[in-house]
A and B are shown apart, each in its own frame.
Chain A
Amino acid sequence: MHKKIFRSSMLVTLLVLLSSIVLIMEVLYEYFEKQLISEIKKEAVYISTAIENEGIDYLNDIEGENERITLISPDGTVIADTAADVDALENHIDREEVKEAIQNGSGTSSRYSDTLTEKIVYYAIKLENGNILRVSARHYSVVVILLGLLQPILVVIIIAFVLSFVLCQRVSKKLVAPINILDLECPENNQTYEELTPLLKKIAYQHRTIEEQLKNALQKQEEFCLITENMNEGFLVIDNEMRILTHNEAAMKLLDMSDKEPENILSVNRSKAFRKMLENVLSGVRDESEIESDGIYYRFIANPVFEEKQVIGAVIVILDVTESMNREKLRREFTSNVSHELKTPLTSISGFAEIMKNGDAPNEMVIDFSNSIYDEAQRLISLVSDIMKISELDEKSVVYEKETVDLFTLSLEVSERLRSEADKKNVKINVIGDTVEVIGVRKILDEMVYNLCDNAIKYNKDNGIVDIIISSADNKVKLMVRDTGIGIPISQQSRVFERFYRVDKARSKAIGGTGLGLAIVKHAAMYHDAEIEVESKENAGTSVTVIFK
C-alpha cells in the first residue's frame, strides 16, 4: 500500500510537472509570436512610408538579418527582395498574405519551413501605388526553443523529482501508518479513517462468528472424546496409509498398546488375520473378524470410510468377546455331550428291541431284554429331566416363588428318600444340626441337597458315612455334605461342576447318574446367591459346603 501510494503520487507529480512545462512553453510561444507580428507590422509601416518617400532603392540599402522584405506588384511579380534574386522568384499572387493585402489592405500568415525548425511569419500591406510590401520574419519553433532550454529544464526536473520523491515517501508512509497500527483483535476500538469502519465492522463480525464456531467445534470434540473414552469397546480411526488418527483408551487397553502413542496400526498388531482385515477394509470391503491373541478373543469390526468413492480410511471397533466365545464353546460342548449321552441308552434300547423284533429270542431272554430296555429308558428319563431342570435354571426368566425353608427338615426328608439307596451300600446318613431357615425356593433347594447326598452315597465306599451338617454363624448359613468316599483328585476339583464332567469316565456307567448332578447343584446355589466350597482328599472323602449369605 505504501509503495502503491508512493508510486502513484510520484507519477502524478511528474505528470503535472511535465504538462505544466509544456503548457507554459505553449503560452510563451504564442506570446512571442504575437510580439513578432506586431513588430513586423510596425516595421512594414515604417518601410512603406520610407519607400513612398524614397522610392524602391531604399530596399536595397536595408541589410536584414532576420527580416526579409519583398515588394510585389499587384499582379504578383516580385519587384524587389532583400534576401533573394528577383528573377528567380516565382509569382507571389497566390500567397495568402498577398491575397489578403490586395483585398483588405493588409494580411498576415505564417508557414513552417521545410525542416520544421523554423516558422516564418509574413505581413503584407498594400502601398498607395498598388504595390504590395511584404515583411517576413523567421522565428524558431517550440521544439528548437525547448532544445535550447534543455539544460535549465532538466535541472528543474531533477530538483522537482528529488523533492517529490522525498515528499511522496513521507506522505505515503504517513497515510499507511494508521492502518499498520490497527488492532485487529478488537477491530471496533480503533480510531482510524472512517472509510475503514465498515471493513473493521465486518472483521469484528467475522471474529465473533469464528470464535463461536470454534467453541462449538471444541465442544463437539469434547463430547466425542467423552463418548469414545467411556466406551468399553476399542475405537480406532485410521487413514489409508494405516496411520492411526484417533484412538480411545479402551482400544489402547484391548490392543495392549504401550503408553507411548503408536503412529502406525501395523505396529500395534501385525498378525496375519489382522493384516488381512486391514487389506480388506482399505480396499473398501467391510470386514468383521475374530482374532485370538494370548487366550483373549477380539472381534474387529472394520468399516471403510469413503470420500468421492475412494477409500480414505477406516473405522475399527474392537470388542473383547472372550466371555461370549467361552460361553459359545461351553454351549457347543453341552450340545455335543447331551447328544452323546442321549444316544448311548437309545442305542442299547434299539439293539435289544431289534433282537426281540425278529422273535428269535427265547422267553427268559425277552424278560432280560425288557429289563434292560426299562433300565435304559429310566436312565433316559432321568437324564432328560435333569437336562430340563438345568435349562430351567439356566433360563432366568422362569420365576419361582420364594419362601422360608427349614434346611434341617429338608435334609431329613432327603435322607429318608435316599435311605434305600444308602442301605444298598451300607452307608449311614447322619443329619446334624438345628433348625435353620433360609429364604429360597423349596424345589430347587431340595434338588440341591438331593444331588449332593446322592453323590455322597454313590461315590462312597461300602460301610461309609454321609454327614449332612447344618449350621449358622455370622448371618451365614452353611450346609455341608461330607462323605468318606473315593474323593476327587485336586487337579479335577475345579471341573466337577461342569456339565457331563466325570472324574472317572470308565466307572461312570457302573455308578450311574447323568453327570449333571453337580452342575444342578452349582446352578441352584447360584440361584440363591450361595457359594460352594469343595474340600477333598483322594480315597479319604469329600466335603461340599454351600454357604448362604
Chain B
Amino acid sequence: MRNRFDEQLLQLNNELIKMGALCEEAIAYAVKYLIDHDADMKENSIDAERQIDRKERDIESLCMKLLMHQQPVATDFRMITSALKMISDMERIGDQAEDIAEIAEYVHLSDLSARVHITDMAEAVVYMVNNCIDSFVKKDTEIAYSVIVMDDTVDEIFMKVKKELIEAVQNGHDDAESLVDMLMIAKYFERIGDHAENIAEWVIYAMTGQHDMNASY
C-alpha cells in the first residue's frame, strides 16, 4: 500500500515538473511573440495554455485521489496541499501568458520608448518562472527565496513602464490604444511575477512547513 503511495507521490512530482515546464514554455513563447511577432509562437503559446489546463485537472484529481485514499500526513500532506495551490498559480501563469500573446498582436514594441523596459520585464519574469520551477524540481529553498526577492525588481520595472506610458500619453502619442495594451501586458507580466513568487512560497512551505510571513501577496 505504502509502495503504491510512494509511486503516486513520484507521479505527482513528475506531473508538476511537466506542468511547470509547460508554464515556462507558454511564457517563453508569449515573450518571443511579443518581441519577434513570429506567428508560430502565438499558436504555441495558446497550445501550451490548453495543455496546462488539462494538466491542472489531471493533477487536481491525482491530489484528490491521494488525499482520499492514502490519508497522508506530515511532509506528504504538505506536499499535496501545496501542489494543489501551486497548480492554480501555474494555471494562472498559463492563462496570462496566453493573454499576453493575444494582446501582443496589436502592440508593436519597435515604436515605443518603453520597449527596453518591457523587454527587461519579460526577461525578469521568464527568469522568475524558470527559477520557481527549478526550486521545486531541485527542492532548493535558496532558489525559491531568490525568486521572492526578484519579484520586487519586477514590481519596480512595472512602475517604470507605467510612468513611461503615462508620459507618452501626456505627450500626445498617436497610438493610444497600443499604449493601453502595453500597460496591460506590463500588468500581466507583473501578475505572472506574483504567481511565480507564490509558487516559490509554496515550495518553501512544502519543504519547511513554514509560511514566509514577511512576504507580500
Contacts and interface: CB of A to CB of B under 8 A. Distances in A.
Interface of A: 241-243, 258, 264, 266-267, 270-272, 275
Given A270-B133, A272-B25, A264 B11 contact: no
Contacts of A258: 138
Given A241-B10, A241-B11, A243-B10, A267 B137 contact: yes
Contact of A242 (B14, B133, B138): B14
Contacts of B24: 270
Interface residues of B, number: 14
A267 B138 contact: yes
Contact of A270 (B7, B10, B11, B20): B20
A264 B18 CA distance: 12
Contacts of B81: none
5 contacts: A241-B14, A264-B14, A266-B14, A267-B17, A272-B21
Nearest to B25: A272
A313 to B, nearest CB: 14
Contacts of B137: 264, 266-267, 270
Nearest to A274: B21
Interface string B21-53: 100110000000000000000000000000000
B13 interface: yes
A18 B10 CA distance: 67
Contacts of A266: 14, 17-18, 21, 137
A357 B190 CA distance: 70
Contacts of A242: 10, 14
A242 B14 CA distance: 8
A128 to B, nearest CB: 100
A258 B10 CA distance: 21
Contact of A264 (B13, B20, B25): B13
Nearest to B48: A272
A241 B11 CA distance: 7
Nearest to B8: A241
The 5 closest A-B pairs by CB, nearest first: A270-B21, A267-B137, A266-B17, A241-B10, A270-B17
B94 to A, nearest CB: 14
Given A264-B10, A264-B137, A275-B21, 9 more contacts: A258-B138, A264-B14, A266-B14, A266-B137, A267-B137, A270-B17, A270-B18, A270-B21, A270-B133
B132 to A, nearest CB: 13
Contacts of A275: 18, 21
A327 B7 CA distance: 44
Contacts of B11: 241
Contacts of A267: 17, 137-138
Interface string B68-104: 0000000000000000000000000000000000000
A175 B172 CA distance: 108
A370 to B, nearest CB: 50
Given A241-B11, A270-B133, A270-B137, A264 B17 contact: yes
Contacts of B14: 241-242, 264, 266
Which of A243, A266, A275 gathers the greatest number of chain B CB atoms within 10 Å? A266
Q: Which of A242, A267, A270 has the most CB of B within 10 A?
A: A270
Nearest to B24: A270
Contact of A271 (B7, B10, B21): B21
Contacts of B17: 264, 266-267, 270
Contacts of A272: 21, 25
Nearest to A279: B18
Nearest to B6: A241
Contacts of A271: 21
A292 to B, nearest CB: 14
Contacts of A264: 10, 13-14, 17, 137
A241 B6 CA distance: 11
A267 B10 CA distance: 12
Contacts of A270: 17-18, 20-21, 24, 133, 137
